């Protein structure tokens, strides 16, 4: 008997002797079947030269190995869109893999036979050896449908195996049929005359004839009726897909999903933060003080930790989305939202990525793969980083602490205003793109609503695993590289000894001398805790000057004339520069450059008091109301996240779009912050 066994992936790829294409209509259960057959023995990549995903796994059939290629969901091979061209290329050997598919598994929804047989007929016309996987046979039986398997096999001139991919029913029989196909050398059964290509009629006649054939085969091989099931589906759709009620249902479902997302991710994220902190402490204790220790602790461990902390959110998000998609709900949600999103040039399917962007823009951009039209997908990718992600929250918290520490109502309204500004500007920019660089209406949403069904937990877990690995491999390496580069910029060139004494104001030098004397006196008195506190305060002041001397500090000084109209000084500019690795790092950066140390960023009161005490050269407060509001607006709208840029590059296949995204968001953030600062200053606030 043929079985799919766990196996080392690299070894299996070496042993794979031929390829099998897995093809089927959307919502036919193709992905669930692929996961059942390959499990974790699969890799995900893009088709060469495109951003369309291909998944390749390996299955063992007797004493041989087969490579299974999961193709995009299709309705036809001949309508000309990119997914269908890719599928044809796989069968013709033009897919960049060096070989074509030797055979095909065509997945058919047993509850919608006529619609699915059209594609099966096209595949058979190619003359490719085929095994038909008649999926969802359990639902068909539940609905009172009986399919004559032998008659269907004769009509298609191919073996037909009834299966339930969700439960695994019938998979052994399917693997045995595939093994038989392999042993026979993948010889093709003759294509029935009624399916063969004709030479004296137009394509539309062939399509019409194939539709007639598919309906005829479905009618002659099926007994019973799914009227009762259809009636139940229609009753549910009247409520769930209703133009008004559907919006409230969608809001409730998405609210519940995101509450669950944050609730479920909270503890794993805390465990990861604690674990990364422990590793950093151990590394710092084991390594001698110096640049190498700083590189390992701050650059490498800090960079990896910055990636890992978001992993629970990303995994849980894709798990929940997979569950919703499996039930058939997401298709209906897209239908409800399409008419509203189309008004600003966005497709209905963009709404779920927009919601997930409030957790993190990276998985949100990755999830735009559900949007078929390239223009719609580009617009969605370009505006998603405008929505408030969780990394912006420390910045919001810092600004509200500076302005409204004693007024929770005002602080809450400021938070809500920041979220609202991001949403409004995302919709405005989508409309602007629609009228300018990406003209045209959003692609009409044409989809076949799947039936309601129980989700596959196994499929959801495998999807979560797959997406988590992609995030770690792609985004993780990029974030680590960026963190190391920024660490080097903030560390070098090293400040020479005596620089502070020679260049700092006399009062700063005097304060350093007083702290040194106080630390020495405390140590002599045996008060080691006080001595460490005095020494830490002196180190914080020195670190501030070291930061100013570094390349990052020099860049901060260099761009000060640009950001001066926004009310920012060079130290705020350093925070802006370093926060390109991750937005939230601006808080710890400001703590360092203003002389309270990185640990001071965790002490809200200490950070607030120190920042409020800062003054400009004219004696006015550095963090005035206009400056704080300008900083808040800037961080609501600015990109400030190079890993997101890297994901945009990966998803669009070009550096042109991430460069444009960075440019327009920076210009937008600067302009709005300028208007905010100058307007509030003019009003005397």
Helices marked H in 564-623: 570-578, 585-593, 604-612
| Dihedral angle sign, alpha carbons of residues 668, 674, 679, 680 | positive
Judged against a pLDDT cut of 80, whether residue 33 lies above it is answered with yes
The lowest-confidence range among 123-132, 170-179, 466-475 is 466-475
Look at residue 197 in the predicted model and tell me its pLDDT: 45
| pLDDT at res. 228 | 47
Query: Helix 570-578 to helix 477-491 angle, to the nearest 10 degrees?
Result: 150
Range from 51-65, 74-88, 168-182, 453-467 that averages highest in pLDDT: 168-182
Pairing state between β 64-70 and 103-109: unpaired
pLDDT of residue 670: 95
Is residue 590 pLDDT above 80, yes or no?
Answer: no
Tokens of residue 645, six digits: 């840029």
Query: What is the per-residue pLDDT for 231?
Result: 66
pLDDT tens digits for range 611-638? 787 777 666 788 899 999 999 999 999 9
Who has greater pLDDT, 607 or 436?
436
Paired with 106 in beta bridges are 23, 132
- Taking residues 186-204, what's their average pLDDT? 50
pLDDT of 13 higher than 60: no
Q: What angle is formed at CA 427 by the lines to CA 421 and CA 428, rounded to 5 degrees?
A: 85
Indicate if the pLDDT at residue 45 is higher than 60. no
> What is the average per-residue pLDDT within 33-56?
65
Q: Is the model's pLDDT at 284 over the cut of 80? A: yes
Range name among 187-191, 528-532, 545-549, 637-641 with the lowest pLDDT average: 187-191
Instruction: Please give the biggest Cα pair distance in the chain.
Output: 105
Kindly indicate the confidence band of residue 205, based on its pLDDT and cuts at 50, 70 and 90.
low
State how far the Cα of 202 lies from the Cα of 224, in Å rounded to an integer: 35
pLDDT of 631: 93
Q: What is the mean pLDDT of residues 369-382?
A: 85
pLDDT of 551 over the 50 cut: yes
**Predicted local distance difference test score (pLDDT) of residue 162:** 92
Closest Cα partner for 2 from 167, 130, 185, 174?
174
For 9-225, CATH number out of 3.40.718.10, 3.40.50.300, 3.40.190.290, 2.60.40.1120 equals 3.40.50.300
Q: How far apart are CA 23 and CA 84, in angstroms?
A: 11
Q: What's the rounded mean pLDDT across residues 129-142?
A: 87
Average of pLDDT values for 281-298? 84
Over residues 660-685, mean pLDDT: 93
* 382 confidence band (pLDDT: 50, 70, 90): very high
Q: How far is CA 371 from CA 34, 223, 347, 523, in A?
A: 21, 37, 8, 65
Q: Region 255-282: what's the mean pLDDT?
A: 79
pLDDT of 661 higher than 70: yes
User: At 22, which helix (H) or strand (E)?
Assistant: strand 16-24
Nearest to 426 by CA among 491, 509, 361: 361
CA distance 60 to 9: 12
Around Cβ 126, how many Cβ atoms within 10 Å?
A: 16
Position 656 scores a pLDDT of 93
Mean pLDDT score, 79-106: 69
Decide: residue 247, CB within 10 A, 0-12 exposed, 13-18 middle, 19+ buried.
Answer: middle
Q: Is 98 left (phi over 0), alpha (psi -120 to 50) or beta?
A: left
> Which residues, in sequence order, are CB contacts of 340 under 8 Å at separation 6+?
247, 348
Cβ contacts of residue 533 below 8 Å, gap of 6+? none
* Spatial distance between the Cα atoms of 630 and 565, rounded to a whole number of angstroms: 10
Give the DSSP letter of residue 111.
Answer: T
Closest CA to 353 of 321, 375, 319: 321
The token duo for 211 is 């539709």
Residue 255, C-beta contacts closer than 8 angstroms, at least 6 positions apart? none
**Considering the chain, what is the average pLDDT of its residues?**
78
Pick the range with the lowest mean pLDDT from 348-357, 430-439, 549-558.
348-357
642-652 vs 656-682: helix crossing angle, rounded to 10: 140
Is the per-residue pLDDT at 349 higher than 80?
Answer: no
**DSSP letter string over 344-364?**
GT--GGGHHHHHHTTT-HHHH
Segment 500-534, tens digit of pLDDT: 888 888 888 888 888 888 888 888 888 888 888 88
- The confidence band for 1, taking pLDDT boundaries of 50, 70 and 90, is very low
Lowest pLDDT segment from 32-41, 524-533, 658-667:
32-41
Strand pairing of 64-70 and 53-61?
Answer: antiparallel
Residue 80's pLDDT band, with cuts at 50, 70 and 90, is low
Specify the pTM. Answer: 0.59
DSSP of 298-344, one letter per residue? IIIIHHHHHHHTTHHHHHHHHHHHHHHHHHTHHHHHHHHHHHHHGGG
| Residue 429 predicted with pLDDT over 70 | yes
Which pLDDT score is estimated for 511? 84
Long-range CB contact pairs, 434-439, < 8 A, 24+ = 434/344, 434/345, 434/379, 438/345, 438/375, 438/378, 438/379
Which of 244-258, 296-310, 651-665 comes out lowest in average pLDDT? 296-310
**pLDDT, mean of residues 224-233:** 61
- Local confidence band at 51 (pLDDT 50, 70, 90 cut-offs): very low
The token pair that represents 636 in the structure block: 């609501």
The domains of the chain are located at 9-225, 494-549
- 563-587: pLDDT as tens digits: 999 999 888 888 888 777 667 677 7
pLDDT-based confidence at residue 262 (cuts at 50, 70, 90): low
């Amino acid at each position: 008997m043929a079985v799919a066994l766990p196996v080392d992936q690299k070894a299996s790829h070496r042993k794979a002797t031929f390829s099998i294409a897995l093809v089927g209509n959307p919502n036919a259960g193709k992905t669930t079947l692929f996961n059942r057959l390959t499990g974790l023995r699969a890799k995900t990549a893009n088709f060469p030269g495109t951003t369309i995903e291909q998944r390749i796994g390996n299955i063992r059939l007797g004493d041989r190995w087969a490579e299974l290629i999961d193709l995009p969901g299709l309705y036809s091979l001949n309508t000309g869109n990119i997914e269908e061209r890719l599928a044809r290329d796989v069968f013709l050997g033009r897919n960049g893999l060096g070989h074509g598919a030797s055979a095909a598994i065509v997945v058919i929804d047993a509850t919608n036979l006529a619609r699915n047989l059209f594609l099966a007929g096209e595949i058979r016309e190619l003359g490719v050896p085929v095994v038909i996987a008649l999926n969802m046979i359990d639902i068909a039986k539940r609905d009172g449908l009986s399919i004559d398997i032998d008659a269907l096999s004769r009509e298609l001139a191919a073996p037909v195996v009834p299966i339930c991919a969700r439960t695994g029913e019938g998979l052994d029989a399917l693997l045995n049929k595939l093994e038989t196909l392999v042993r026979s050398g993948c010889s093709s059964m003759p294509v029935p005359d009624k399916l063969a290509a004709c030479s004296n009629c137009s394509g539309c006649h062939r399509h019409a004839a194939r539709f007639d054939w598919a309906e005829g085969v479905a009618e002659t091989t099926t007994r019973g009726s799914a009227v009762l099931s259809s009636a139940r589906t229609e009753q549910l759709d009247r409520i769930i897909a209703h133009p008004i009620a559907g919006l409230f249902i969608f809001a409730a479902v998405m609210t519940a999903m995101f509450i669950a997302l944050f609730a479920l991710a909270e503890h794993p994220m805390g465990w990861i933060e604690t674990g990364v902190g422990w590793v950093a402490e151990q590394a710092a204790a084991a390594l001698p003080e110096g640049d190498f220790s700083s590189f390992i602790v701050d650059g490498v461990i800090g960079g990896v930790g910055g990636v890992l902390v978001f992993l629970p959110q990303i995994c849980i998000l894709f798990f929940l989305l997979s569950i919703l998609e499996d039930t058939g709900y997401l298709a209906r949600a897209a239908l409800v939202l399409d008419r509203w999103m189309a008004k600003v040039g966005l497709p209905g399917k963009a709404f779920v990525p927009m919601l997930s962007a409030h957790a993190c823009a990276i998985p949100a951009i990755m999830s735009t793969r559900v949007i078929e039209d390239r223009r719609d997908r580009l617009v969605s990718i370009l505006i998603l980083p405008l929505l408030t992600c969780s990394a912006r929250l420390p910045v919001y918290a810092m600004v509200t602490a500076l302005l409204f520490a004693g007024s929770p109502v005002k602080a809450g309204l400021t938070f809500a205003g920041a979220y609202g500004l991001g949403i409004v500007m995302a919709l405005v920019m989508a409309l602007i793109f629609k009228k300018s660089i990406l003209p045209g209406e959003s692609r009409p949403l044409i989809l076949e609503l799947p039936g309601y069904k129980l989700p596959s937990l196994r499929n959801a877990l495998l999807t979560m695993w797959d997406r988590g690995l992609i995030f770690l491999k792609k985004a993780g390496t990029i974030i680590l590289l960026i963190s190391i580069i920024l660490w080097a910029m903030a560390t070098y060139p090293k400040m020479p000894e005596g620089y502070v004494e020679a260049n700092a104001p006399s009062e700063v030098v005097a304060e350093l001398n007083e702290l040194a004397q106080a630390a020495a006196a405390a140590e002599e008195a045996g008060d080691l805790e006080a001595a460490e506190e005095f020494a830490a305060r002196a180190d914080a002041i020195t670190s501030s000057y070291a930061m100013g001397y570094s390349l990052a500090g020099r860049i901060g000084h260099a761009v000060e004339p640009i950001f001066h109209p926004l009310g920012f000084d060079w130290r705020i500019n350093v925070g802006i520069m370093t926060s390109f690795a991750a937005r939230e790092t601006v808080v710890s950066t400001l703590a360092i450059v203003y002389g309270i140390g990185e640990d001071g960023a965790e002490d809200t009161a200490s950070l607030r008091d120190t920042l409020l005490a800062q003054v400009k050269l004219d004696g006015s407060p550095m963090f005035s109301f206009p400056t704080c509001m300008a900083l808040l607006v800037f961080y609501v709208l600015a990109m400030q996240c190079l890993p997101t840029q890297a994901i945009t590059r990966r998803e669009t296949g070009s550096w042109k779009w991430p460069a444009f995204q960075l440019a327009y968001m920076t210009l937008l953030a600067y302009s709005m912050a300028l208007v905010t600062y100058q307007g509030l200053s003019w009003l005397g606030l």
